[in-house]
């Protein structure tokens, strides 16, 4: 049988099963048990003080952020189009309109210089995405938001263990959402967390999390009984998931180190293709520390990409494309509108190739992948 080189393989820390058994033994299997609390403490410590709430997905955390931002029908949320559907869906569920702004050529993150022109009296929030764990330009974005009285929501789904000017991503906006989906660096199968950095949103975040009740206050002994006080939903994961996640978080620094090693090996291996203008490697600004979430190459044209992907596939290497831009997707056309031209988004989305990257990728396997990709890129027309 020929060996396959999958794009991703979920990494286990090793102690997850033991923690899950312990969670079951404790007989608190629903949400907000001891492992959930330990994850909250871990995240709050990591993010340096803010409130953390585990959710069953990053999508759920983004939906909570839409409720917390007080979005009303017709309100607008500025965001990139080069992202996952949840970035927009979470706000469309509140009947808000996603306003798509183009991305930067270098980091593929929202182009902060185009944001201000997209602001209208209906704009309520800016949702940034830290693509591949590389930070959006948060200083500029936070000051635009302050000038216009807008919330900044970080879709930090890919950004665990990445920083911007030394600050952890997820700690800068008013609210942030992490993903612990199996495809992310730190995972619990499905999972996520909402980070609430704005102190004025903290109390309400607990209520929304607990199905619209003040149960958190009740648990702290602040009220004699809990009751229905606001809108909300069931956003908590079971403590079994939290037990799994805690072990992942505790191994996170090590997992990130391994990923960065693999990422750096790719960067070195493809530097000559980059220099020759055949395939561009990622750009990491010097004030950003990334987390090795994605290694991509930007080839010259869409037709070129299809040829390269087919050649890789023929040699069992699962290199894959990434987002189909939201602005031109059927639901994007129906629910969103353009806040700028989409020239960069359309161009990069049609040229991007992601290479296999997971902790179980050993040096031999990676050398094979590099060799296959290098040959697949041969005779490729130079990028402009
Ligand atoms: C993965 C991802 C999500 C969704 O995360 P889930 O935990 O699967 O809901 C949202 N936004 C971005 C940018 C992502 O990469």
- Domain spans of the chain? 16-250, 252-376
Asked if residues 377 and 279 have their Cβ atoms less than 8 Å apart, the reply is yes
Asked if residues 30 and 243 have their Cβ atoms less than 8 Å apart, the reply is no
For 39-72, the pLDDT digits (tens) are 999 999 999 989 999 999 999 999 999 999 999 9
65 lines ligand 1 (CB under 6 A): no
- 3-state SS of 319-356 is CECCCCCHHHCHHHHHHCEECCCCHHHHHHHCCEEECC
- In this structure, of 34-48, 136-150, 155-169, 214-228, the range with the lowest mean pLDDT score is 214-228
Strand duo 288-289 + 163-164: pairing: antiparallel
Ligand 1 closest atom vs CA 180: 7
Q: What is the CATH number of domain 16-250?
A: 3.40.640.10
87 lines ligand 1 (CB under 6 A): yes
**Mean pLDDT on 239-259:** 98
Residue 381 confidence (pLDDT): 63
What class, spelled out in words, does domain 252-376 have in CATH?
alpha beta
235 Cα–ligand 1 center, Å: 15
363 Cα–ligand 1 center, Å: 29
Domains 16-250 and 252-376 share a fold: no
Mean pLDDT of the chain: 96
pLDDT band at 384 (very low <50, low <70, confident <90, very high): very low
Asked if residues 172 and 140 have their Cβ atoms less than 8 Å apart, the reply is no
185 lines ligand 1 (CB under 6 A): no
Which of 10, 65, 158, when mutated, tests ligand 1's pocket best, judged by the most ligand atoms within 8 Å of its CB?
Answer: 158
31 Cα–ligand 1 center, Å: 21
Residue 306 confidence (pLDDT): 92
**Ligand 1, atom 2: closest residue by C-alpha:** 157
E-only strand ranges, 88-141: 97-101, 123-129
CA 210 from chain centre, in angstroms, equals 24
Residue 49 confidence (pLDDT): 86
Residue with tokens 């911007």: 164
Query: Could you give the CA distance from residue 140 to residue 136 in angstroms, rounded to a whole number?
Result: 9
Check whether 367 has a pLDDT greater than 80. Answer: yes
Q: What percent of the chain has pLDDT over 90?
A: 94
Check whether 261 has a pLDDT greater than 60. Answer: yes
Residue 132 confidence (pLDDT): 98
**Mean pLDDT on 94-98:** 98
Check whether 197 has a pLDDT greater than 60. Answer: yes
Check whether 1 has a pLDDT greater than 80. Answer: no
DSSP state for residue 74 in the 8-state scheme? T
181 lines ligand 1 (CB under 6 A): yes
55 lines ligand 1 (CB under 6 A): no
CA dihedral of 365, 371, 374, 376, whole degrees rounded to 10: -90
Ligand 1 closest atom vs CA 191: 7
Q: What percent of the chain has pLDDT over 70?
A: 98
Query: Could you give the CA distance from residue 83 to residue 157 in angstroms, rounded to a whole number?
Result: 10
Query: Could you give the CA distance from residue 154 to residue 135 in angstroms, rounded to a whole number?
Result: 10
**Ligand 1, atom 14: closest residue by C-alpha:** 157
Determine how many CB atoms are found less than 10 A away from the CB of residue 68: 22
Contacts of 222 (CB under 8 A, 6+ apart): none
Check whether 301 has a pLDDT greater than 90. Answer: no
**Mean pLDDT on 200-221:** 94
378 Cα–ligand 1 center, Å: 34
Check whether 383 has a pLDDT greater than 70. Answer: no
Determine how many CB atoms are found less than 10 A away from the CB of residue 18: 11
For 340-352, the pLDDT digits (tens) are 999 999 999 999 9
E-only strand ranges, the chain: 51-55, 76-80, 97-101, 123-129, 151-155, 163-164, 167-168, 175-179, 192-196, 288-289, 296-298, 337-338, 352-354
Query: Could you give the CA distance from residue 266 to residue 281 in angstroms, rounded to a whole number?
Result: 9
DSSP state for residue 131 in the 8-state scheme? G
Which of 54, 86, 178, when mutated, tests ligand 1's pocket best, judged by the most ligand atoms within 8 Å of its CB?
Answer: 86
Residue with tokens 């590389």: 134
Determine how many CB atoms are found less than 10 A away from the CB of residue 129: 24
Ligand 1 closest atom vs CA 184: 1
Check whether 10 has a pLDDT greater than 80. Answer: yes
């Amino acid at each position: 049988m020929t060996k396959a080189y999958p794009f991703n393989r979920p990494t286990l820390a090793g102690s997850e099963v033991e923690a899950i058994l312990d969670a079951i033994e404790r007989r608190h299997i629903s949400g907000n048990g001891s492992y959930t609390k330990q994850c909250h403490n871990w995240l709050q410590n990591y993010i340096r003080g803010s409130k953390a709430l585990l959710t069953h997905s990053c999508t759920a955390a983004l939906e909570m952020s839409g409720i917390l931002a007080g979005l009303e029908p017709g309100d607008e949320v500025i965001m990139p189009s080069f992202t996952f559907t949840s970035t927009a869906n979470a706000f469309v569920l509140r009947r808000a309109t996603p306003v798509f702004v183009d991305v930067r050529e270098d980091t593929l993150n929202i182009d902060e210089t185009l944001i201000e022109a997209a602001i209208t009296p209906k704009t309520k929030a800016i949702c940034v995405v830290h693509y591949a764990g590389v930070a959006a330009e948060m200083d500029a974005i936070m000051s635009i938001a302050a000038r216009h009285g807008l919330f900044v929501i970080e879709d930090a789904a890919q950004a665990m263990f990445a920083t911007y000017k030394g600050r952890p991503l997820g700690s800068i906006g008013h609210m942030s959402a992490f993903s612990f989906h199996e495809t992310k660096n730190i995972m619990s199968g499905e999972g996520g967390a909402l980070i609430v950095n704005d102190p004025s949103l903290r109390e309400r975040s607990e209520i929304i999390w607990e199905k619209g009740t003040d149960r958190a206050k009740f648990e702290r002994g602040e009220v004699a009984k809990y009751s229905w006080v606001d809108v909300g939903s069931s956003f908590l994961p079971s403590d079994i998931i939290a037990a799994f996640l805690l072990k992942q978080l505790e191994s996170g620094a090590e997992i990130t180190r391994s990923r960065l090693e693999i990422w750096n090996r790719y960067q070195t291996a493809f530097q000559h293709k980059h220099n020759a203008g055949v395939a561009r490697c990622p750009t990491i600004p010097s004030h950003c520390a990334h987390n090795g979430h994605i290694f991509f190459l930007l080839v010259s044209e869409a037709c070129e990409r299809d040829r390269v992907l087919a050649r890789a596939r023929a040699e069992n290497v699962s290199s894959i494309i990434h987002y189909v831009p939201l602005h031109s997707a059927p639901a994007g056309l129906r629910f969103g509108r353009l806040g700028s031209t989409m020239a960069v988004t359309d161009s990069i989305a049609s040229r991007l190739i992601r290479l296999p990257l997971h902790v179980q990728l050993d040096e031999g396997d990676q050398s094979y992948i590099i060799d296959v990709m290098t040959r697949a890129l041969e005779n490729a027309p130079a990028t402009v």
